[in-house]
Amino acid sequence: MKKIKRILIANRGEIAIRIMRTAKTMGIKCVAVRTAVEPNAMYLSMADIIHDEDEDASEIPVFLDVEKLISIALETKCDAVHPGYGFLAENAYFADRCQVNGIIFIGPSHDAIYKMGNKTVARQIALRHKVPMAMGSPGSIADEEEALVHATRIGYPVIIKAASGGGGRGMRIVRHASEMEKMFTLASREAEKAFNDPSVFIEKYIENPKHIEFQILGDQHGNIIHLGERECSIQRKHQKLLEEAPSPALDTELRQKMGETAVEIARAVSYYSAGTVEFLLDSDKNFYFMEMNTRIQVEHPVTEMITGIDLIEQQILIAMGEKLKIRQEDVRLSGWAIECRINAEDVQAGFAPSPGRIEKISFPDEPGIRVDTGVRAGSSIVASYDSMIAKLIVTGKDRHEAIVNTKKALDKVWIKGTKTTLPFFRMLMRNHLFQEGTFTTAFIEKNLEKYYSHGEYEEMIAAWLATKLFVEENLEDKKTNISFDQGKEITPWLLRKRLTQF
């Protein structure tokens, strides 16, 4: 067992702060990297040591530069690296390079990252372990002829996916054989462009499923448990906006079944550290393995809130080689947690990014409310990184109470400087489908006409404000405000100049 004394945080923003907060309580020192893009970022104030990186704007960001990160880690005498999420968190090469250089990568083995990162490999592993999956091609498919054969076998609609993909790119739904040729070419081309790999595979397309994921914890001694599920169906273009735990769609029996399956998948790649197994759940409560994320997730706090387990602490302990102290039967899910991702986006313009400087920011400071944020007043949301401002996590004893509490908490969030996704969540909390819990991943596209709504009289108040401004600017007598006499005061020096000019 190797004790970790100093961690390089290979990330920024709220997740960097989140990791450092736990590391501090464990007596571990943290190194953060200062970038030219946000030299005054909040995460830096949490760090014990700051490494200055004077990168050029045209170069790749330091958080994506494997060799540079390794050299920073060595230089600052870190014995471990935490990649957070995004950037290099699921890069097998980075994990490998850390190991080669004697640095602990706080995450799974590079082998597990590789296997789960390649969708066709992951599919084959799942198939071997008889994990329920949407029917599909056993591996990559060569051309549309082959695609047609598979599609006929499994039945339309089918979905073509990029083998190295993720995040919705390179995906195409095919509803008729006649569309196959076109869609295959499109998907393949898009996959090549996005992931440098044109290979695609084919799967049965599950209509309007729910997105359910299970949190996994495993140690390096073969112990693997799950910490229950998260409901992530509220998403737009494959971007999650709100997550909750547990899911209103699962009962104890289904939870147990899905949880066991998730553990089995993790076991198949000898998984250790924190990880997430994603499933699709159809309307008949059949579930299908989709993929495994080999990192800490953005939405990990909802699990922490209902289990009382600090996932980052577990990650670090596991990375040091410690045995899991929690057994499956110790895991108790109590209460309900909802996470709203408050992003700098313009909901009225279809969630377009709305970068800018945060002028004022404050959150309710009450029991049952947790806020994970990486910005403070004066921080800028820069276009080069994601648009997250904060995660607002609200709990309640049950779902109903959690929704009521979230509704109240949202009204107490105060952010000025950029447009945010707050109006979306305010609308969502009042939406009946959401309250019932029967929504699917198609909810935003299919069930919403507008992404926001406002209180009954808000438009009238805004109209009053516009009118007030008009009156102030244009109708009120400004005689006293402008002094023409002062304009006439000229020094003799100037007057002479002006007079002698003609």
Nearer to another protein, 58 or 178 (CB): 58
Q: Least distance in Å: CB of 333 to another protein?
A: 33
Q: Give least dist CB 59 to another protein, A.
A: 10
Smallest distance from another protein to CB 344, Å? 11
Instruction: Quickly count: other Cβ atoms within 10 Å of residue 284's Cβ.
Output: 5
- Residue 376 is a catalytic residue: no
CB distance 444 to 208 below 8 Å? no
What track of x and - describes contact with another protein for positions 328 through 347 (by CB under 8 A)? -------------------x
Q: Is 416 in the site for another protein (CB under 8 A)?
A: yes
> Which segments within 179-222 are labelled E, that is strand?
200-204, 210-218
**For residue 244, how many other CB atoms are within 10 A of its CB?**
28
Which part of the chain contacts another protein (CB under 8 A), choosing from 104-112, 163-171, 244-252, 377-385? 377-385
Q: Which stretch binds another protein (CB under 8 A): 2-10, 51-59, 117-125, 195-203?
A: 51-59
Phi, psi of 373 (to 5 degrees): -140, 155
Residue 486 found at the interface with another protein (CB under 8 A): yes
Residue pair 387/353 in contact by the 8 Å Cβ criterion: yes
Among 99, 101, 334, 483, binds another protein (CB under 8 A): 483
Window of 9-17, 180-188, 283-291, 416-424 that interacts with another protein by CB under 8 A: 416-424
**Nearer Cβ to another protein (149/463):** 463
As a whole number of angstroms, the distance between CA 172 and CA 186 comes to 8
- The phi, psi pair for 359, rounded to 5°, reads -90, -45
Which among 295, 341, 399, 426 is annotated as catalytic? Answer: 295
Nearest distance from C-beta of residue 356 to another protein, angstroms? 7
Q: Considering only CA atoms, which of 390, 459, 403, 413 is closest in space to residue 434?
A: 403
430 touches another protein by CB under 8 A = no
Cα atoms found within 13 Å of the Cα of residue 88, Cβ hemisphere only = 27
* Positions in 101-160 near another protein (CB under 8 A): none
Which helix (H) or strand (E) element contains residue 126? helix 119-128
Fill in the amino acid letter for 5. Answer: K
Q: Whole-angstrom Cα distance, residue 273 to residue 111?
A: 13
Nearer to another protein by Cβ, of 436 and 489: the residue is 489
Nearest to 258, CA basis, from 297, 210, 301, 299: 210
The correct pick among 138, 161, 359, 370 for binding another protein (CB under 8 A) is 359
- Tell me which amino acid residue 97 is: R
CA atoms within 13 A on the CB side of 211: 20
Residues that bind another protein (CB under 8 A): 36-37, 56-58, 347-348, 356-357, 359-360, 378, 380, 383, 411, 414-416, 419-420, 422-423, 452, 454-455, 457-471, 473-475, 477-484, 486-491, 493-499, 501
Catalytic positions, please? Answer: 295
